DNA sequence: GTGAGTTTCTATACATGTAAAGAAAGTAGC
DNA sequence: GCTACTTTCTTTACATGTATAGAAACTCAC
């Protein structure tokens, strides 16, 4: 990996492409043609290089996607006016991250990679942890609380967008549909009762309600 | 796909392998050598067929993994004695699913695919929804509550196991580590304060606490 | 039996991520 | 200039999932 501020003249063959150029070009491809069109060869061609050359600037494709996400976050994640009340501040901070992430559907492949810990997201993490501490949680429980919020948020996005993707590229009945069709009302009465409304209920966006519940639960002394 | 109870004699060329055989063999490979060794070609060889022949019994590799998960759930997911108290029943039901899923680390590729809706898991879903209703939630809010629990559960497993996997096959510092190293205490005081304990805190298993908080929050009238 | 229809299986081909080997293009010391 | 060293880039190759075309093995209607 290149050293940005080498004290002396750079050693070795001078690079013809940079990590920034790779990321920028990748972003352009993703923006205009979707993440499905982003392949290493295609990206290399666009840059005027070879696929393997990219691997000197990016560890692998997954890292490239993480960098893209970082880049995306840095460009679009605005810091909103947060409410003064700490509990509400937590909710708004988490919801803002959630909204930003939900807006880029190609995120799933990356989201599972790690905590979302791009530099631009750290501020939101700070707000959440700080809010939890201000509400009376000791610091380590605040960190645990943040993690719970992150699990919930990441899970919502991953499950939801994958389900959506599956729906678009496949018409056959899903497991869920089959399972509900064969459902035995005497053994699973509640599910039988709501079976008809399951799909629409599931389609509703209830992220915020769940988030509020979670935050409330985290803050209620046990 | 084959019709299990065809009224007349089966039409077409008689199959030489069955979906069951495919799944069983796949399971054996996964159990003995890990999911990384499960390739379509390898599986076909083991069965004594060709890779493409598998595609008549399984839609694609992802479906095969889903079927494997179903199979796994059907074999190992025991229905525990659930507490009578509904709130506690919800917690135990969710925790049981969580424990079962967390035990098979290859699950990540599948988990994001859909709700976990294998037939054997439906009973747990029933218990959760029923518990929420018994605690006073109207049915549609109970379904939303179940979804929140599922998001949290799936998110925990996905994030945690992917992080673990990444740690094993890569020694270089993660983004998180780098981000924390460069952290500016004047801008992000709370994070700076807990920076040293972040890694150990994150390593702790706090699924149950988070789950309890979430369930509590879902059940507190707003 | 023959031909049509149906299902399963085989052979081949392709796109993709990336490993491995080594060539290319520079600097540093002499 | 020459050699050693370092970094970047190119070439080639491979494993993998899966699309496509068509062969194979059956049943059925006649």
The enclosing domain of B44 has a CATH number of 1.10.10.60
Tell me if A18 is assigned to some domain: no
Is the model's pLDDT at B163 over the cut of 60? yes
Write down the pLDDT at residue A177: 67
Q: Minimal CA–CA distance to A145: which of B152, B182, B16, B108? A: B152
Region B18-44: what's the mean pLDDT? 96
Tell me if A200 is assigned to some domain: yes
Of B43 and B4, the one with more pLDDT: B43
Write down the pLDDT at residue A36: 93
Residue B153 and residue B212: Cα distance in Å, rounded? 12
Residue B158 and residue B153: Cα distance in Å, rounded? 9
Q: Tell me which residue range forms the domain holding A201.
A: 79-219
pLDDT bin (cut points 50, 70, 90) of residue A175 is low
Q: How many CB atoms are closer than 10 A to CB A123?
A: 15
Strand C at less than 7 A from CB of B82: no
Region B103-114: what's the mean pLDDT? 72
Is the model's pLDDT at A33 over the cut of 90? yes
Region A72-88: what's the mean pLDDT? 92
Is the model's pLDDT at B159 over the cut of 90? no
Residues B50 and B119 in one domain: no
The per-residue pLDDT of chain A, averaged, comes to 88
Write down the pLDDT at residue B5: 44
pLDDT bin (cut points 50, 70, 90) of residue A10 is confident
Write down the pLDDT at residue A109: 72
8 A C-beta contact, residue B127 and residue B77? no
Residues B32 and B126 in one domain: no
Residues B126 and B184 in one domain: yes
Region B4-14: what's the mean pLDDT? 70
Widest Cα–Cα separation across chain A: 78
Tell me if B65 is assigned to some domain: no
Is the model's pLDDT at B2 over the cut of 60? no
Region A42-55: what's the mean pLDDT? 98
CB hemisphere CA count around B69 (13 angstroms): 29
**Which residues of B, range 157-176, sit inside 8 Å of A by Cβ?**
158-159, 162-163, 166, 172, 174-176
Please give the protein residue whose CA is closest to the C1' of the nucleotide D20: B52
CB pairs under 8 A between A and B: 220
Rounded to 5 degrees, φ, ψ at B65 are -65, -40
Residue A156 and residue A112: Cα distance in Å, rounded? 12
Strand D at less than 7 A from CB of A12: yes
The per-residue pLDDT of chain B, averaged, comes to 88
Tell me if B70 is assigned to some domain: no
Residues B89 and B44 in one domain: no
Question: pLDDT exceeding 70 applies to what percent of chain A?
Answer: 88
Is the model's pLDDT at B187 over the cut of 80? yes
Residues B49 and B89 in one domain: no
Write down the pLDDT at residue A168: 66
Tell me if B63 is assigned to some domain: no
Six-digit token pair at A216? 């409330």
Tell me if A69 is assigned to some domain: no
Of B114 and B19, the one with more pLDDT: B19
pLDDT bin (cut points 50, 70, 90) of residue A208 is very high
Give the domain CATH number at A147. 1.10.357.10
pLDDT bin (cut points 50, 70, 90) of residue A108 is confident
Q: What's the total number of domains in chain B?
A: 2
Tell me if B66 is assigned to some domain: no
Tell me if B191 is assigned to some domain: yes
Strand D at less than 7 A from CB of B63: no
Residues B102 and B191 in one domain: yes
Residues B91 and B52 in one domain: no
Region A36-65: what's the mean pLDDT? 96
Q: Which residue of B has its CA nearest to A167?
A: B114
Region B154-177: what's the mean pLDDT? 74
Residue of B140, B153, B215 with shortest CB distance to A217 = B215
8 A C-beta contact, residue A66 and residue B170? no
């Amino acid at each position: 990996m290149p050293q940005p501020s080498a004290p002396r003249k750079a050693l070795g063959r001078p690079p013809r492409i940079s990590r920034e150029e790779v990321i920028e070009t990748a972003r352009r491809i993703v923006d205009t043609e979707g993440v499905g069109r982003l392949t290493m060869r295609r990206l290399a061609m666009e840059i005027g290089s070879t696929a393997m050359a990219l691997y000197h600037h990016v560890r692998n494709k997954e890292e490239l996607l993480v960098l893209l996400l970082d880049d995306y976050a840095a460009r679009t994640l605005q810091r909103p006016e947060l409410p003064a009340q700490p509990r509400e501040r937590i909710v708004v901070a988490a919801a803002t991250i959630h909204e930003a992430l939900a807006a880029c559907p190609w995120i799933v492949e990356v989201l599972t990679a790690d905590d979302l810990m791009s530099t631009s997201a750290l501020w939101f993490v700070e707000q959440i942890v700080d809010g939890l501490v201000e509400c009376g949680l000791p610091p380590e429980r605040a960190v645990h609380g943040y993690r719970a919020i992150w699990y919930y948020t990441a899970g919502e996005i991953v499950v939801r967008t994958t389900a959506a993707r599956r729906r678009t590229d496949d018409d056959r009945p899903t497991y869920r549909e089959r399972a509900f069709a064969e459902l035995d009302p005497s053994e699973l009465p509640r599910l039988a009762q709501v079976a008809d409304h399951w799909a629409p209920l599931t389609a509703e966006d209830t992220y915020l309600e769940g988030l509020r519940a979670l935050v409330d639960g985290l803050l209620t002394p046990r």
